[in-house]
Amino acid sequence: MISSFLIYKTILVVAVFAITLFVAAYSTYAERKVAAFLQDRVGPDRAGPFGMFQPLADGLKFMMKEEIIPDSANRFLFILGPSIAMLTALMAGVVIPWGNTLVINGESYTLQIAELNIGILYVFAVVSIGVYGIMIGGWASNNKFSLLGAIRASAQMISYEIAMGLSIIALVITTGTLSLREISLLQAGGVGSDWNFWNVLYQPVGFIIFLICAFAECNRTPFDLPECETELVGGYHTEYSSMKLALYLFAEYVNMFISSAVISILYFGGFNFPFMNDLGLDQNTITILGTVFFFAKITFFIFFFMWIRWTIPRFRYDQLMNLGWKALIPLAVINIFITGLVMILTSK
């Protein structure tokens, strides 16, 4: 049985890896398309029908580009930076429950690589290592723009991680578990037979804080100060070229994908969908439909990330810090207190 377990896990790992990279690649395409549509343009439409092969063309171009490592750069760290960024971005996908349980020939297969009872903590730990990738890369470039971008990135990510963690604590108080799978299961049924609402209804403030922090953690507009072109050329990846630049850009999109997945799980029911237990479907159908719904939610949030990018201009750095420290963190703390109070009062 151990071999079948290994094979199934291997298949799952490869599938998740492939899907993550696929989504990241097509996020670049979607980003350009969404940007174009929001600005009344057409976007890439030359490579294949509707420009569908644009990511492949971009990837090929990245590979063919000359690989430049500046003379004054620290070679080892220069290569380590993008590797860490990519590695940590991919590692977070391990604990994401991509779906419920499939039952094949009496054996149940969970669509999750590792069921960790502290899944959400794991995601936080791994994602916060990601900042080292940016920091090391920016420092190793030996370029003032890179360094400034890296400093901004690390300061920003560390500040917003606090608010993010605090907003999760309130959620953990209501759900009583740190496991991503259990948090998903607790929201089962949607508006169906069990009347479990999505967590966003119990934690609207927490959701907004988490969302804002997710934007900051992914270095997305309006918090894209680490790489803002108008001030810092390219920010921490100014000196990078070829595949190493691609890794940084890819890591950003993978992070976006993982963030969308985590938001969907924590606040929007994960692989659950409304009336899932009332339609009279068998277990496997519900699981597959649930996975489809989960990806639909993720797609929506990725779209939301892009949508916001083309709506809101960038923050000034002091505004960014003010928002993080003076608004979001106190708000998150108040949210924890109110949540705790309500929990105590309602649980007799």
Q: Which residues bind another protein (CB under 8 A)?
A: 34, 36-42, 45, 208, 307-308, 310-312
Question: Helix 329-346 crosses helix 204-217 at what angle (to 10 degrees)?
Answer: 150
How far is the C-alpha of 345 from the C-alpha of 284, rounded, in Å?
Answer: 39
Q: How far is the CB of 31 from another protein (least distance, A)?
A: 14
Q: How far is the CB of 36 from another protein (least distance, A)?
A: 7
Residue placing its CB nearer to another protein in the complex, 113 or 320: 320
Residue placing its CB nearer to another protein in the complex, 216 or 258: 216
Q: How far is the CB of 182 from another protein (least distance, A)?
A: 31
Q: How far is the CB of 235 from another protein (least distance, A)?
A: 24
- Give 103's strand partners: 108
Residue placing its CB nearer to another protein in the complex, 80 or 308: 308
Residue placing its CB nearer to another protein in the complex, 176 or 330: 330
Residue placing its CB nearer to another protein in the complex, 77 or 308: 308
Query: Per-residue b/e over 257-294, b at no fewer than 16 CB within 10 Å?
Result: bbbbbbbbbbbbbbbbbeebbeeeeeeeebbbbbbebb
- Give 108's strand partners: 103
Q: Among all chains, which residue has been given the structure tokens 């799978």?
A: 181
How far is the C-alpha of 339 from the C-alpha of 348, rounded, in Å?
Answer: 15
Q: How far is the CB of 312 from another protein (least distance, A)?
A: 6
Question: Helix 2-38 crosses helix 242-267 at what angle (to 10 degrees)?
Answer: 100
Residue placing its CB nearer to another protein in the complex, 197 or 310: 310
The sign of the dihedral angle between the CA atoms of 313, 317, 319, 323 is positive
Spatial neighbors of 309 by CB under 8 A, at least 6 apart, are 31, 35, 220, 221
How far is the C-alpha of 44 from the C-alpha of 24, rounded, in Å?
Answer: 17
Q: How far is the CB of 315 from another protein (least distance, A)?
A: 10
Q: How far is the CB of 322 from another protein (least distance, A)?
A: 11
At 129, give phi and psi (nearest 5°): -70, -30
- Count other Cβ atoms within 10 Å, centred on residue 123: 25
Residue placing its CB nearer to another protein in the complex, 45 or 115: 45
Cis peptide, bond prior to residue 222, ω within 30 of zero: yes
DSSP H helical segments within 176-241, as ranges?
180-186, 199-202, 204-217, 229-232
How far is the C-alpha of 344 from the C-alpha of 341, rounded, in Å?
Answer: 5
Q: How far is the CB of 43 from another protein (least distance, A)?
A: 9
Residue placing its CB nearer to another protein in the complex, 10 or 319: 319
Residue placing its CB nearer to another protein in the complex, 155 or 208: 208
Q: How far is the CB of 310 from another protein (least distance, A)?
A: 6
